[in-house]
Structure 1
Amino acid sequence: MENYAKHEKDLIHQYEAEGFTHQFRYGSGSLIDTETKKKYAPTDLRIVEEHRYEGMSNPSDLSILYVLRTNDGIKGLFLMAYGPHADTDTADFFKEVPQVDAQ
């Protein structure tokens, strides 16, 4: 995957075309698949890629796109704010999620 895109939406569309179609939300210490409602702990997930963005009109609008794979084979995406607007519980959760080893 080429690491350059003008907007996170560009990468979201590219990853969806590669099968990363599930969306997740964070709640009560778990990442929750919005379709199946299944909850995942950090040990149930792997970060395949992550991409950070600054807002085009406001550089303080920072976001990070996590490309994820679950231990049961689900592939999906999670977009969150980071920097001064980050939710600290969500940020702490992702610090515990292992990254896929580079090959």
Structure 2
Amino acid sequence: MENEFAKHEKDYIKLYQNKGFTANFHYQNEKLVNNETKNEYKPNDIFIVAEHRYEGMSDPSDMSILYVIKTSKNEKGTLLLGYGPSADLELAEFFKKVPKENVSKDEAIIN
């Protein structure tokens, strides 16, 4: 049976927002920054609690990954990153530096 959310990042984002993952982040100066609080985080301060990968139906090169994260200051949110040809390489490298022990599927929505 096909996952009903497999094609739509926005559906997963809404589900995670309902679970309290409401913070939005952007990448600046080698750190993730909370858009509202302006708190800055290095890779060691980030906990990836779920991730979902997507591939465009009409264009396979249209790929993205949704990171569901918690921070060392207990801020919870999501960040959508393009990967493949459209990847933000600096942000992708940032997520590669998140320690393996900070990566889990503790909050993953499983269908």
Q: TM-score higher than 0.5 here?
A: yes
Measured after TM superposition, the shift of residue 84 of structure 1 is: 1.4
Q: Which residue of 2 aligns with 1:13?
A: 14
Whole-angstrom distance in 1 between the partners of 2:57 and 2:105: 31
Counterpart amino acid of residue 35 in structure 2: T
* 2:50–2:105 contact (8 Å) kept in structure 1: no
Measured after TM superposition, the shift of residue 57 of structure 1 is: 2.4
The within-5 A match list for 1:1-103 is 5=5, 6-97=7-98, 98-100=102-104
Length, aligned pairs only: 100
For the aligned residue pairs, the C-alpha RMSD in angstroms reads: 1.5
Where in structure 2 are there 5+ consecutive unaligned residues?
A: 107-111
* 2:55–2:62 contact (8 Å) kept in structure 1: yes
Taking structure 2 as the reference length, the TM-score comes to 0.84
Counterpart amino acid of residue 99 in structure 1: V
SS of equivalent residue, structure 2 residue 92: helix
Measured after TM superposition, the shift of residue 101 of structure 1 is: 6.9
Whole-angstrom distance in 2 between the partners of 1:4 and 1:29: 35
SS of equivalent residue, structure 2 residue 13: helix
Whole-angstrom distance in 1 between the partners of 2:53 and 2:104: 17
Whole-angstrom distance in 1 between the partners of 2:35 and 2:48: 18
The runs of at least 4 aligned residues of structure 1 exceeding 4 Å deviation read none
SS of equivalent residue, structure 2 residue 17: helix
Counterpart amino acid of residue 48 in structure 1: V
Whole-angstrom distance in 2 between the partners of 1:4 and 1:68: 22
